[in-house]
Structure 1
Amino acid sequence: MKKYPLPQEKIVELLTSEQIGRLATTGADGFPYITPVHFVFMSDKIFIHGLAAGEKLANIKKDDRVCFEVEKMHEYVQDELPCDTNTSYESVIIRGHAVLITDTDAKITVLNVLVDKYTPQHSGKSYPDAMLKMTGVVEISIESCTGKHYPA
């Protein structure tokens, strides 16, 4: 058991409020590959978007197992000894399975939520067909989710 587990409501708050997450996939060479991504948390899943082709999507097609991480740093916790200095933070680690969304309506639904979160001034606008074709949307089904914090 973790010393400072993050309560479920704080996990949801962090997944809803933070701007950048990190997606880890397994590369073709067997090494982990980590990518910072914009994301939304909805319907108990993580959704990300990016180009419809690239290393992270190639990795997901070969092995759908992924890890997703998000954190929020609050402040440094100073101590008299340098090794006892710490950081007050909250973090969430998710393990799950990723799939590329191919249904256009489902893709647009996710893109609308992403636009609302990151560029609300563009909410309600339509997406050109060419843009939809070159945009990949990934859905991560959560298999396990843990949160942790360190208090100030």
Structure 2
Amino acid sequence: MSHQPLRTARTRLRRFPQRGIFDRQAINSILDEGLVCHLGLADATGQPFVLPTTYARVEDELYIHGSAASRTIRAMSTGQPVCATVTLVDGIVLARTAFNHSFNYRSVVILGSATAITDPVEKARGLTVLIDRLVPGRSNEVRPPTSQELKATSLLVLPIDEASAKIRSGPPGDTGDDLLTDAWAGVVPLQTSVLPPVPDPRLAPDRPIPAHIRSWRQETPN
């Protein structure tokens, strides 16, 4: 488990610093709620790339999934500096002025270098974590990856050593004479909803939805 400080010169927030949070528990809660992270790095030519992918937090590390054929994933596995971001949008902030429109959001930025997991047993264990991160108990239902599938898959580990969270919440930031503007102002809340599962049409018509999916959906806020 990492004991390095999350707050560094590179993670210091320069714009709206009052929204910055460096508490590990707060950062972990955002990471655990998100489903997709965006990975950014510059290749050897200086060209920046941003790659969306799935991930799972395991204690103070981020497990990152990718294709072994991905040029970006291969570059990350060599130890190049990488930036991982996760953003949750909680609402659209509608202000009285165009300038003050915003979002309520929670985001995390992680800086560091990723390491590729090459041991087949450890990689298979990590991919199981990723599958169960999507729906707990899912790995017990499906066929595990073959050796060929493991070769085609990359699994990276990014330490959560240098990170920051940024959170905006509440009403619009209108002040002064703008409060007299005759326009509706407020927040339109947004959330990710878990809808009823849609079965693959190739399943047997009487195949029930597995218990791990039913219980997960009941426990997940809609």
Would the TM-score normalized by the shorter structure come out above 0.5? Answer: yes
Shift of the 61–48 alpha-carbon distance from structure 1 to 2, 3 Å rule, reads closer
What is aligned with 1:22? 38
Greater CA drift, 5-14 or 44-53: 5-14
CA apart distance, 1:17: 1.4
Q: Which residue is 2:126 aligned to?
A: 110
Decide which moves more: 111-120 or 78-87.
111-120
SS at match of 2:121: helix
**Shift in alpha-carbon separation, 1:61–1:12, aligned structure 2, 3 A:** closer
Alpha-carbon deviation of 1:11?
A: 1.2
Deviation at 1:67, TM superposition (A): 0.5
Greater RCO (CA < 8 Å, at least 6 residues apart): 1
Q: TM-score, structure 1 length as denominator?
A: 0.90
**Structure with more helix by fraction:** 1
- The structure carrying a bigger strand percent of its residues is 1
Structure 2 counterpart of 1:3: 18
Query: SS of the residue aligned with 2:130?
Result: helix
- Determine if contact 1:77/1:88 at 8 Å carries over to the other structure: yes
CA distance in 1, matches of 2:70, 2:128: 22
Where do 1:2-151 residues align within 5 Å? 2-6=17-21, 7-120=23-136, 122-124=138-140, 125-151=143-169
Name the residue aligned to 2:203: none
Structure 2 CA distance for partners of 1:130 and 1:55, relative to 1, 3 Å? same
What is the Cα deviation at residue 26 of structure 1?
1.6
Instruction: Report the 3-state secondary structure (helix = DSSP H, G, I; strand = E; otherwise coil) of the residue aligned with 1:126.
Output: coil
- What residue identity is the alignment partner of 1:69? T
Residue pair 1:98, 1:139 contacting (<8 A) in 2 also? yes
AA aligned opposite 1:4: R
* Number of aligned positions between the proteins: 152
Does the 8 A contact of 1:26 with 1:63 survive in 2? no
Deviates most, 84-93 or 4-13: 4-13
Letter of the 1:5 counterpart: G
Q: CA RMSD in A?
A: 1.7
Distance (whole Å) between structure 1 residues aligned to residue 161 and residue 32 of structure 2: 18
Residue 5 of structure 1 and its aligned partner are, at CA, apart by 2.2
TM-score for both structures, normalised by structure 2:
0.64
Gap regions ≥5 residues in structure 1: none
Residue identity opposite 1:74 in structure 2: D
**Alpha-carbon distance in structure 2 between the residues aligned to 1:87 and 1:117:** 27
